Structures are given as structure tokens and as C-alpha cells.
Structure 1
Amino acid sequence: MHTAHQTALETKHATLDRRIHAESQRPLPDTAVLADLKKQKLRLKEEIQNI
């Protein structure tokens, strides 16, 4: 059963995924930004799994 909280987390996760993809497609991706986005995405994934 999806809760509003879980749906919100999944939406944020998808948004981070798109931001990671966009950053990685740039001619000179910012590795610090990519690392931060990936950490945020991993935290969200873990939180979603713990629901």
C-alpha cells in the first residue's frame, strides 16, 4: 500500500535520478554535484525500503 509519504519520496527519488542524468550529460560534469545527488538518492532509496 502506497502512502502519501512514500509517493512523495519516490517522486523525489525520480527527480534526483533525472538531475543525475542531466548533470552526467554535460560536457564537464561537476563530480562534487554528482556525488551529492547520488548520496541524496541513496538516502531516499533506503528510506523508501524501510517503509
Structure 2
Amino acid sequence: MDEAEIIRRIGELRQEHRDLDAAIDALVFAPATDQMQLARLKKRKLRLKDEVAALEGMLIPDIIA
């Protein structure tokens, strides 16, 4: 994966993360909240965050001390 692809993928993941935020907020304030669905969305959101962090780590050059 080259740098441009990594940056593009990070943007996609961040957008999906924001979308999940909105979906989670909607579920939290819904009258009949499906706790299982809420838990699944939160786990997916955490996986996205981890994936973004890993990709961002790929953009940082290795520095030999």
C-alpha cells in the first residue's frame, strides 16, 4: 500500500467512524434500544479506531536511533 492509498483508506475509515457515532447516538436515544445492536456498533467503532491508528503508524517513517 502506498502513502496515497493509506491516506485515502484513513479518510474512508474516519467517515465510517463518524457514521457509526451517529447511529449509536440514534440508538441510545431511541425509545426501545436494542442493546445487542448497540454493543455491536460500539465494537465496530473500536475496531475502526484501531485500524486508523495502525494505518497512521504506517505513515510515520522508522527512525533508527
Q: Give me the TM-score of the superposition, normalised by structure 2.
A: 0.73
Q: SS at 1:43's partner residue? A: helix
Structure 2 CA distance, aligned partners of 1:16 and 1:26?
15
Partner amino acid, structure 2, of 1:44: L
Q: CA deviation at 1:45?
A: 0.3
Structure 1 CA distance, aligned partners of 2:25 and 2:49?
17
Map Cα deviations across residues 2-24 of structure 1 (whole Å, 9 max, x no partner).
71100000000000010000000
- Identity, in percent, stands at 37
Q: CA deviation at 1:27?
A: 1.0
Partner of 1:17: 21
Aligned pairs, number: 51
Map Cα deviations across residues 21-46 of structure 1 (whole Å, 9 max, x no partner).
00000012100000000000000000
- In structure 2, list runs of 5 or more residues that go unmatched: 56-65
Q: SS at 2:41's partner residue? A: helix
Partner of 2:32: 28
Partner amino acid, structure 1, of 2:42: K
Q: Give me the TM-score of the superposition, normalised by structure 1.
A: 0.92
Name segments (4+ residues, structure 1) moved above 6 Å. Answer: none
